Amino acid sequence: MRFVGQTPVLKGKKINHFFNDPLKINSDNMILLYKKCDEKLVAFSVKKHTVNCNVERNHLKRIMRESYRKTENLFATHYSYFFIAKTRCISLKTTITEMQSMAGRIHENN
């Protein structure tokens, strides 16, 4: 199983199950879908219509994974998280700031 920091990565059928009624937070560059779960899991995605080139999509996913790794302790443990990039160019600093604010909004909602 692959990990981002200490958190296992969502794969396969668990991702399909994830789209049944998740909670949603929007920011300028990302969408966060999250759902109450037994264990903390995480996934990252960049849509093809957002970025056509797979090299750029992989680069954006690497940036999101690194940002999550740096802010992992801010996210609650009994939720699974699915981050989706909305824009082409996201800097590491911007992504970290947005993830920090998303984590705060999750705590406010619960």
- pLDDT tens track for 65-88: 999 999 999 999 889 999 999 988
Assigned token pair, 79: 């939720």
pLDDT of 18 over the 90 cut: no
- pLDDT tens track for 39-61: 899 999 999 998 999 999 999 99
Contact 6, 72 (CB under 8 A): yes
Assigned token pair, 37: 């779960």
In CATH, the number for domain 3-100 is: 3.30.230.10
Q: How far apart are alpha carbons 85 and 108 in whole angstroms?
A: 23
Q: How far apart are alpha carbons 72 and 7 in whole angstroms?
A: 8
Model pTM above 0.95:
no
Collapsing DSSP to helix, strand or coil, 5 comes out as: coil
